[in-house]
A and B are shown apart, each in its own frame.
Chain A
Amino acid sequence: MASQSAEKLEHDKLAIEDIDVSDPTIFQKNRQGPIFARLRAEDPVHYCRESRYGPYWSVTRYQDIIAVDSNHQVFSSANATSLDETRAKGRGPNATPVGGFLGMDPPEHDTQRKIVSPALAPANLARFEHLIRERTRNALAGLPIGEEFDWAQTVSVELTMMMLATLLGVPFDERKQLKRWSDVIAGVPGDGVVESWEQRDSELKEMTRAFLTLRETRRMEEPSSDLLSMLAHSPVAQNMSDLEFASNVSILVVGGNDTTRNSMSAGILAFHDHPDQWAKLKANPALVDSAVPEIIRWHTPIMSQGRRATQDHELGGKVIRKGDKVMMWYVSGNRDESAIPDAGQFIIDRARPRQHLSFGFGIHRCLGNRLAEMQLRIFLEEILANDWARIEVTEPVGYALSSSVRGINRLRVRIHA
């Protein structure tokens, strides 16, 4: 097994039809760049006949990805958003599904998305801004200067869990549990998070029970602006089954946790790797507004999403057959020079920084995009307020073993005053 994946990394030498980008070790070793560059150039709509997840198509160019993403009639999300569909469905007849409306098609998708969306609307988010800023400031104020520590765990994890607990209205001391659930939802056996599908499912059932208990408590309280309260009091949400309710909360947990957490770490790493951009930002803090979307493009926290074709469909000269699995590789489209000038460069003052694929497009476009941007904006603003000379990354970075979530689990740093 190990030697097989080592061989697989020799992608340049492979015949194009043998390229299989579902292999998570590619991303763990951060070797996806040249492989996708080759696919974009030679075989932008690529068929892989055989993989650990079965056959699938890879769509790697910016424009083709938008075409797939905005065509939900042909490209269905139902049980199709991950390479490994067991993740959404679980294993066994009574398994707890996760992913909520992210994995549904209209009309169910639209109904459920509309229930959740008011809580994430910019007007509601504004109410949280002050609290997030204060908590961000406090977390940064306690950091050691001149000493090495792990930024990923100490800052990124802490801040995003705090944020999520605030947003959901989960009691503050239960926020560690939120991180565990987020990891479990995204987890697959053998990734260091869960041992087996059974163990994962039993933790998910525990999560479901916890959310349902919180919903009961909220129902007895006055409505407030937190998400659980909004869901508990929404007349439309009354029609959601218990499982649907918990499943929809679960996408807020993963959606709002990993992605933002990893973007925070990725931002620190990007500024370490590009000292000229850090100098530019320090000299002109107003650039935070365009630096935030650039970090999100650069990192691409969710590297891929899947769909299933509901009918035969031609794309890039290839015929995708009804029933075929199709993966959109945002991580590739975000490096597509034909759509984004100098896509291979990290540039914090781009003219159109928000033209990137990281939030997806079409009806499933990320519902938390403004929240994520707000968190990252406050994060950068508060870092700049400390007026540190720089944040040095002291060890090579390891990425998570995943072809979906681009995780930075450890980021050793030293702050220079």
Chain B
Amino acid sequence: MPKLVFIEANGAEHVVEAQADLSAMEVAVRFNINGIDGDCGGQAACATCHVFVDRPWMERVGKPSEHEVQMLELAEGAADNSRLACQVIVTPELDGLVLHMPAAQF
């Protein structure tokens, strides 16, 4: 199983074995990782799963859709490496992916 690394704003690291085909949000919720709420259940409609993709991974993770960009626009502290974790699907190619979490989510 691919590994995902979630790093909290305070530096706390969570390394988890992620099931492929789940979204990174679903993985975080299953492992009870604090700070990824996923209130809308993964429909890119709440932005409570905002993460920053570790820069070296940006290309492999890919770009957000236009709709996702609009939600990200309104997320607190969004940057060019922001993604909604619910729109990032875990694949074998993403083994080792590092995602940084914002200090707080709306």
Q: Which residues of A contact B (CB under 8 A)?
A: 66, 69-70, 72, 106, 110, 113-114, 117-118, 120-123, 354-355, 359, 361-363, 365, 367, 369-370
A114 touches B74 (CB 8 A): yes
Which A residues are in CB contact (< 8 Å) with B44?
70
B-side interface mostly: loop
Query: Which 6 pairs, one residue from A and one from B, show the smallest C-beta to C-beta distance?
Result: A122-B104, A70-B45, A361-B45, A354-B39, A362-B45, A121-B76
> Are A123 and B43 in contact (CB-based, < 8 A)?
no
Knowing A117-B74, A361-B46, A365-B46 touch, does A122 contact B41 (C-beta < 8 A)?
Answer: no
Q: Check if B45 sits within 8 Å of A370, measured CB to CB.
A: no
The answer to whether B70 and A363 touch across the interface, beta carbons within 8 angstroms, is yes
Chain B contacts of A367 at CB under 8 A? 106
CB distance from A214 to the nearest CB of B (A): 26
Decide if A361 touches B43 in the complex (CB within 8 Å).
Answer: yes
* Residues on B with beta carbons closer than 8 Å to the beta carbon of A66: 40, 43, 45
B104 x A110 contact (CB < 8 A):
no
| Chain A residues, CB < 8 A from B40 | 66, 70, 355, 361
Q: How far is the CA of A106 from the CA of B44 in the complex (A)?
A: 17
**Residue A363 contacts which of B37, B74, B106 (CB distance < 8 angstroms)?**
B74
**Is A117 in contact with B45, judged by CB distance below 8 angstroms?**
no
> A122-B103, A122-B104, A354-B37 given as contacts; is B76 within 8 A of A117 (CB)?
yes
Give the distance to chain A from B30, nearest Cβ to Cβ, in Å: 11
Q: Give the A-binding residues of B (Cβ under 8 A).
A: 37, 39-41, 43-48, 67, 70-71, 73-74, 76, 103-106
* Closest-CB distance, B39 to chain A (whole angstroms): 5
**Could you say which of B37, B46, B104, B105 has the most chain A C-beta atoms within 10 Å of its C-beta?**
B46
Using CB atoms, name the residue of chain B closest to A365: B46
Question: Which secondary structure dominates where chain A touches chain B?
Answer: helix
Closest to B37 in A: A354
Decide if A122 touches B106 in the complex (CB within 8 Å). yes
Report yes or no: A110 in contact with B46, Cβ–Cβ below 8 A: no
The answer to whether B46 touches A106, judged by C-beta atoms less than 8 angstroms apart, is no
Asked if A369 and B103 sit within 8 Å, CB to CB, the answer is no
A369→B47 CA distance, assembly (Å): 13
The reply to whether A363 and B104 contact each other, CB–CB distance below 8 Å, is no
Q: Judging by beta carbons under 8 Å apart, are B45 and A69 in contact?
A: yes
Cα of A110 to Cα of B70 in the assembled complex, Å: 9
Contact present for A365 and B45 (CB under 8 Å)? yes
Minimum CB–CB distance from B88 to chain A (whole Å) comes to 18
| A and B contact pairs by CB, cutoff 8 A, 22 listed | A66-B40, A70-B43, A70-B44, A70-B45, A106-B70, A110-B73, A114-B73, A114-B74, A117-B106, A118-B76, A120-B106, A122-B105, A123-B104, A354-B37, A355-B41, A361-B46, A362-B45, A363-B74, A365-B47, A365-B106, A367-B106, A369-B106
A122 to B103, CA, bound (A): 9
Least CB distance, B65 to chain A, in whole angstroms:
12
* C-alpha gap A363/B74 in the complex (Å): 7
Least CB distance, B9 to chain A, in whole angstroms:
10
How far does the alpha carbon of A120 sit from the alpha carbon of B76 in the complex, in Å? 10
Residues of B within 8 A of A361 (CB): 40, 43, 45-46
Contact call A355/B39, Cβ cutoff below 8 A: yes
Q: How far is B41's CA from A66's CA once the two chains are assembled, in angstroms?
A: 10
- Apart from A70-B44, A362-B71, what are 6 other A-B pairs with CB-CB below 8 Å? A66-B45, A117-B74, A118-B76, A121-B104, A122-B76, A361-B43
What residues of A have a CB within 8 angstroms of the CB of B106 in the complex?
Answer: 117, 120-122, 365, 367, 369-370
In whole Å, how far is B76's beta carbon from the nearest beta carbon of chain A? 5
Which of B41, B74, B105 has the largest number of chain A CB atoms within 10 A? Answer: B74
Residue of B nearest to A121 (CB): B76
Within the complex, the shortest CB–CB distance from B27 to chain A, in Å, comes to 15
Q: Within the complex, what minimum Cβ distance (angstroms) separates A64 from chain B?
A: 12
Residues of chain B with a CB closer than 8 A to A355's CB: 39-41
Question: Does A110 lie within 8 Å of B45, measured CB to CB?
Answer: no
Taking the closest CB of chain A, its distance from the CB of B77, in whole angstroms, is 8
Name the residue on A nearest B41 (C-beta): A355
Give the complex CA separation of A241 and B84 in angstroms: 34
A354 CA to B43 CA, complexed, in Å: 14
Complex Cα distance A121/B73, Å? 15
How far is A70 from B47 in the complex, measured between Cα atoms in Å? 11
Nearest CB in chain A: distance from B31 CB, A:
14
Q: Point out the residues of chain A lying under 8 angstroms from B41, CB to CB.
A: 355
A110→B47 CA distance, assembly (Å): 14
Residues on B with C-beta less than 8 A from A354 are 37, 39, 48
Kindly provide the distance from the CB of B51 to the nearest chain A CB, expressed in whole angstroms: 16
Query: Shortest CB–CB separation between residue A293 and chain B, in angstroms?
Result: 9
